Amino acid sequence: MESPKTFSEKLFSWMIKQNRREDPRFTELADKYLVRRYVAERVGSQYLTRLYWEGTLPRLLPFDYLPSRYVIKTNHGSGQIIRVDGHLDRVEVSSTLEDWLRSNYYWRDREYQYLNIRPRVMVEELLDDGLPKGPLDFRFWCFHGVPEVIQVDNQTHDINPFFDVRWSMMDLTYRPHAARPKIGRPERFEEMLAIASRLAQGFGFVRVDLYNIRGRIVFGELTFTPVAGHLKFLPGEWDLRLGEKWELR
């Protein structure tokens, strides 16, 4: 694609270039374990989740020494999460994790940043904002270090409201059948904007995902290829408007 103009065109163009130039920096930032170092250096470790354990051998998980509520996940893919709140089948969990560790998320949609991640298991605190489908995920779409729009998502992905940086709801979505509830402006919102901006510095585009647990801001992840590029903004004019904010280099 010689002259991409819309956001989706530029995203696909960027994905193709990444596969050709193989920039290892993005591997580290897509790795849910290694990215913690980047976050600590840029904004401070106080914004990280509590990490109870990490390793490459599921059979060594210290179940007897973990709290009653926690999350088990892998560092190298998407959606590979087990939420624990009380009893669990240890054999089944270990088997599931072994399967996940053998997978390479790159081959699903050719997102280069996932190709060379060394798979591992992470056990973190379970984040709870008191909402039945929470915690809410505040996704800051940043262009050249500037947050432009904020998407709010939940754990079942059945909502898709967007807000501007003044927290006014926008006529924008990419899930046409999802609800767009009016969600209150989160506590310490200006601080969330500042964190997203600092983490996004140096990138033409990145989505910075943050949680807000009753006023406590917690880093989620950095996303360089949302929905692996398979999204369509509605109304369609937004694809061009957001594309204009991204200067490909």
The CATH number of residue 95's host domain is 3.30.1490
138 and 76 in contact (C-beta within 8 Å)?
Answer: no
Dist CA 5 CA 25 (whole Å): 26
Residue 233 belongs to what domain range? 1-48+129-249
Same domain, 162 and 232: yes
Q: Render pLDDT for 92-106 as a digit per residue (tens, 0 to 9).
A: 999 999 999 999 988
User: Which pTM was predicted?
Assistant: 0.96
Same domain, 8 and 74: no
The domain total for the chain is 2
Same domain, 154 and 207: yes
Same domain, 174 and 118: no
Dist CA 28 CA 30 (whole Å): 6
Strand arrangement of the beta sheet that strand 51-55 belongs to: 51-55, 121-124, 69-74, 81-85
Q: Render pLDDT for 15-46 as a digit per residue (tens, 0 to 9).
A: 988 888 778 899 999 999 999 999 999 999 99
Q: What pLDDT score does 1 carry?
A: 57
Intervals of the chain under pLDDT 70: 1
Dist CA 192 CA 234 (whole Å): 26
Same domain, 114 and 212: no
Same domain, 10 and 98: no
